[in-house]
Structures are given as structure tokens and as C-alpha cells.
Structure 1
Amino acid sequence: MQKNISRRAFLGAMLGASAVVVAACTSSSNNTSAEGSSTTAGSTEPSSADQTQRVVALNTGQLDNLLTLGILPVGVAAAKNADLIPEFIRNRFGADFDLDSIVNCGLRAEPDVEVIASLNPTLICANSRTDETILEKLRAIAPLVTGAGGGENWKEDFTTIAAGVGKEAEAKTLLADYEQRAAKIAADQPATPPSVSFLRTNDDAAFQMYGLNSMTGTVAADCGYARPEAQQFTDKAGHDLSAELLAQADADWIFYGVQAGSPSPVDTALWPSLQAVQDQRAIEINFDSWFVNASLLSAEIIMDGLRSTIKA
């Protein structure tokens, strides 16, 4: 029997769960389909003072982190094979900011330095893992703030970028709210918490499963969920997985994302044999917000997606 959660019902549940106001910052085959929504607990309102800062964001999650802090970047770089402004960011911030005014600064790995210079930025936010030659060129244009990058560093990177734009206090308040909500979910877990598996399509291999040191891994840990034995690794964010080894992705619940144009694990021979699939606990989620981005907004989307889907 196929079980479906409608898009409207799922989004409604997630939005209802995240209706929190932070006072300091605001005045298909045996799989269930669910798409992440924009559910950040709060964000600062854009102000004229904020918009005097001409910020260029070149790292994962920096666009939505800046918007969460009330700042519209003048330019951003895109992830490979992704939209410059992902749909989940448009859903969350499109009514508050003119997102189409943001200039395309190329790819995150190879930003267009000439375009960036033409924007006369007052601050550039980049990734410390970027080639040093590129970073030197960026430093010659404007002051540079670098985040560590990687999903496991999303909290530190949020506070780093907030400090760079003079909004560290707001960031700490928003992170404290996230931590409080996650702790409540963890406190409500049963004696044996359900295990959650994170699976995505991958460019170089059929699939990739995510371990403890990943964006989804950190959120799952904060919320007290268990992880399957095969996903206890910490050497990197994800391990490649062939279709023949898909059983390693099994758990009480599987949350999987499929990038546009990539084959879905649903179509593999082993998919129907997974226990989570047989129990109708295989959930398709938004690829970009769960597996490409690393920000407070993504953390909220992942947390609310887990909470609203997994029932005690």
C-alpha cells in the first residue's frame, strides 16, 4: 500500500511547528514524499542601516544566513548544478527582499573576481577552503570573512558571518532558540530513539549516505535521533554508496534527496527490500535545503522535517 503525505499538509505541519518569534530579532512506490519548507524560527527585519553594507556571499549557506540577519547581499555565487537562489530560499525570503536584484558572481569554487569588484562590496564572505590565490584576489577588493565550510561547521560559520556584519548578538539569540527547540525534541525521545538515515544522489557515484559530521548529522544529533551503524563514520561528511550496497542506508526512517536529472534510489532493485521502505518510512525531502546548503534556515527545515514526520 502506498502512503502519501500531501505537500500542503506537510508544509502546514512544518510551518505551524515553527511559529516562534524571537523577541530580540523580530518586532512514488512505497515511499512517502515530503518537501522541506522555509521554517526558520525568526529573522531580523531588513533596515536601511543594514542595506548600507554591500556584502558578497560566496560560501554555502551564507546567502540565507545574511537574509536571516536582515541583510540582502549584492552578489552571491552558486553551487554546482544549482540555482543561484534556491527555491526554498525564495519561499522563505521572497516577500521580504528583492532577491532578483542579487548579482550572479559565478560558481562557489570559481567566483568571478571581476564581477565581484564591479559591485564595490564593503565585505566579502568566502570559504577558507577556497584556493589561496582566489582569496588573495578577493582581499584586494574588500575586507574578507571566511567560514570553515562543511555542514558540520554550520553553527560556527553562522556566528562568524554575523560578527562580520555586526550582528553577532542576533545570531546568538537565533542559535539559542534553535538549540532550545532541538533539546525539547531530544528530551521527548523514547528510551530507544528511532534511527534516521540520510541518503542523496551523487555526481561521482550512484548515491551518498551522510555520517555524523554533516549538516543533517549534526541536526539529528541535536534532536536525539539515533543513526544506523553504517552511518557512524566521522572521517568525512558522506560516503559513496553503489546501488548494490544500498542496504547500508537502511534504518527506522530513511530521508532521501534526488537531484534533478539524477536516478532515484526508488528505482533500484534493492529499494523494495529495505525495511524502512516496507514500513512506509522512506521520505523524499528537498535536495537543496537538506543536502546542499548549510545554514540556520536549513537546520530549521531539517529539524522540523524530522519532528513532524517521525511520531512517537
Structure 2
Amino acid sequence: MTASARLPRRGLGLVAASLAALVGLSACSSGDTPAAGGQDASAKRTITDVTGKQMEVPANPQRVLALSEQDLDAVLALDMRPVGTVNGRGQKTPPRYLGDRVKDVKVVGDITTPSMDKVVEANPDVILAGGLTDENLLNQLRQVAPTVVTYKPETDWKTAFRTEADVLNKTEKAEAVLADYDRRVQEVKGKLGPNANAEVSIVRWNPKGPGVMQTQQFASLVVADLGLRRPAAQQEPGFSHGAPLSLEALAKMDGDWLFLGTLTPDGEAVQAMEQARNTPAFQQLKAVRDNHLVPVDGSLWTSRGGPLGARAVLDDVQKAMAK
């Protein structure tokens, strides 16, 4: 689908008309509501996004639109309230692990396919565009507000978080959040006892079978921070998951502990996983025999995330493995 197909039938003309209306509203209300902290709402900063594009952004953003689950996590972790976001990948809602934090946040579409009508209605003053690469879509978003690509596929979550915080002029807050994460890592490590050297398997079950999460994927990095090891069969570099395993190759998803989830709480992937769990090959896995199979939220463990997601992964590890 082309970017233009994502626009409503009235196309860019509607975007332009809506923008004109918003500009009129802004002109009528300028000076009525000062920026938080008494800062000049019109003040700008120049930043460079991960694609090398320079742009001006508000020095004190008030209306942030987060177009990826990682951007959404970052905005919330920085104690800001986004004016809109997108559904998590493969989901009909924002990431489930964020719970009530996103209860009243307006959804403007799906990840990589936001509705331009809804983007305009959100009236953002800056747009965090996640890892979008569609230049047509990015150009449409730039007509609404400064639009910042905040990460590439290979960008680790901490680097992405620092980029997102810099765009929002919240670098000191971000460093405090990361320091709190580091303290939490040490706390959980201290509670693992004999499991401190365990091999941990992380798997997303897809409709076509289980995919082992690669070593630089989000949850894999959190587990590595804890000093936990991945099994020898799970050393594939990358930022997502490997090819689906056949039932004959299920041994590759084994470990001392197996954290297993699906992106959605129902649907084809869940049905396929439940059918496989009754097979002899699945029942023979060491983690299953030892009662070390841990069902997890795949929208957290097998997608992209930020500091809030990382702490939630730590909580899951502590709950399952602490002795």
C-alpha cells in the first residue's frame, strides 16, 4: 500500500484545510496559555534525527504524538502525556503492558499506517515517528508538525530512549530514569540465587510456528543486563526473531527457563501454540519438564519497548525465577 492510499479520499487537500483551521485557532489563542514552567511556547531548538535530517522542534513540547510503541513508552516514562499514539504491531490496541497509562490516549491508527485525518485532529507540536522509512508518509506528517525519526531497526532501546528524550528536551530526566533501571537490574540480580547463571529462552509463537528472539532484540538485551545467558542454539544476531521452527526442531527453543508469548492474546498464533503444547516434542522440552515454562505478554517481550517495558520484563523475571 502506498502512503497516498492511507490518506482519506479528500487527500492532501483535507490535510491543508485542516492545518489552516488549526493555524487559525492557534492565532486566536496565542498568548492565552503560557508554556509549562513559564517558558516561551514559541521557542525552538535545532535537532538532528537518526536519518541525519536537521529540523526545528519546540524547546518545550506540549503536544507530543507518538507513532510507535517505543516512542509511546518513552513519552510516558518521561512523565509526559501524549496527545495520540498508534496500536502496537499486530494489535488492535496500544501495547497491553502499558495498561491504564494509555487508557485515555487517542489512537490515530496502526503502527506505520496512521490516519492523516486523526493526526491532524490531534494537533501535535512534535511527532515522534519511530522507525518510519516511508518518505511519502513522512512528508505528509511534516506538513502537520516537526516529525522526528527516532530509531533505526538496529538501535538499542536505551539509545533510542536518549534520542526521544533529547527531542523532548528531557535529557536529565532520561538519565534519572535509566539510573533507576540500573538499580532495579541489580536488585533483581541479587534475588535470582541459584538461577543467576541460568540459560533463558525467549520465544514468540507465530501462526506458522515459534520464532526465537534474536540476541539484540529488546527483551534479549534486558535479560543480558541481568547476566542471564541464552542457550547455544539462540545466538543468532539481529533485532527481531528467527525463522519459524518446525515441530521437529522445537529443541532449539529449549532452555533452563522458557519465556513464551504471542503478540496478541487470541487468534491464530494462540491456537497454533495451544495445539503444539500437547505434542510429545513440546512436552519433552527441559523447561517444560522442570515446570519452568513462563507464559508472557508477547507485546512486551517480543516487540520493541522502552524503560517502562524493560522494568516490566525485570518484574516478570523476578516473579518467575527469584528464589
> Residue 217 of structure 1 corresponds to which residue in structure 2?
220
Q: Is 1:151–1:294's contact at 8 Å kept on the other side of the alignment?
A: no
1:84-163 alignment runs, 5 A limit = 84-91=93-100, 93=101, 99-100=103-104, 102-150=105-153, 153-163=156-166
1:8-23 alignment runs, 5 A limit = none
| Counterpart AA for 1:304 | D
CA distance in 2, matches of 1:151, 1:163: 19
SS in 1 for 2:212: strand
Q: Is 1:209–1:238's contact at 8 Å kept on the other side of the alignment?
A: yes
- Counterpart among 183, 196, 199 of residue 195 in structure 1: 199
SS in 1 for 2:139: helix
> Residue 55 of structure 2 corresponds to which residue in structure 1?
none
Tell which deviates more after alignment, 66-75 or 262-271: 262-271
> Residue 255 of structure 1 corresponds to which residue in structure 2?
259
Shift of 1:144: 1.6
SS in 2 for 1:124: strand
Q: Which runs of 5+ in 1 are unaligned?
A: 1-47
Q: Is 1:124–1:143's contact at 8 Å kept on the other side of the alignment?
A: yes
Q: Is 2:124–2:145's contact at 8 Å kept on the other side of the alignment?
A: yes
SS in 1 for 2:250: helix
| Counterpart AA for 2:135 | E
> Residue 36 of structure 2 corresponds to which residue in structure 1?
49
- Counterpart among 45, 66, 76 of residue 75 in structure 2: 66
CA distance in 2, matches of 1:191, 1:206: 28
Structure (1 or 2) with the greater helix fraction: 2
Shift of 1:236: 4.1
Change (3 A) 1:301 1:61: same
Shift of 1:173: 0.6
SS in 1 for 2:149: strand
Change (3 A) 1:244 1:116: same
- Counterpart among 290, 296, 304 of residue 285 in structure 1: 296
> Residue 238 of structure 2 corresponds to which residue in structure 1?
235
| Counterpart AA for 2:252 | Q
Shift of 1:299: 0.5
Q: Is 1:152–1:214's contact at 8 Å kept on the other side of the alignment?
A: no
SS in 2 for 1:61: helix
Q: Residues 116-166 of structure 1: CA distance to partner in whole angstroms, max 9, x if unpaired? A: 123221000012343122112212221122221548621111111111122
CA distance in 2, matches of 1:192, 1:112: 46
> Residue 45 of structure 1 corresponds to which residue in structure 2?
none
Change (3 A) 1:149 1:256: farther
Shift of 1:80: 3.8
RMSD, aligned α-carbons: 2.5
Matched, 1:78 2:87: yes
Matched, 1:174 2:177: yes
- Counterpart among 307, 312, 315 of residue 301 in structure 1: 312
SS in 2 for 1:76: strand
Tell which deviates more after alignment, 223-232 or 158-167: 158-167
Shift of 1:56: 0.9
Change (3 A) 1:221 1:189: farther
CA distance in 1, matches of 2:186, 2:239: 25
SS in 2 for 1:105: strand
Q: Is 1:186–1:225's contact at 8 Å kept on the other side of the alignment?
A: no
CA distance in 2, matches of 1:191, 1:280: 14
Shift of 1:185: 4.2
- Taking CA–CA contacts closer than 8 Å with sequence separation of 6 or more, which of the two structures ends up with the larger relative contact order? 1
- Bigger CA radius of gyration: 2
SS in 1 for 2:294: strand
Q: Which runs of 5+ in 2 are unaligned?
A: 1-34, 38-59
SS in 2 for 1:294: coil
Tell which deviates more after alignment, 211-220 or 285-294: 285-294
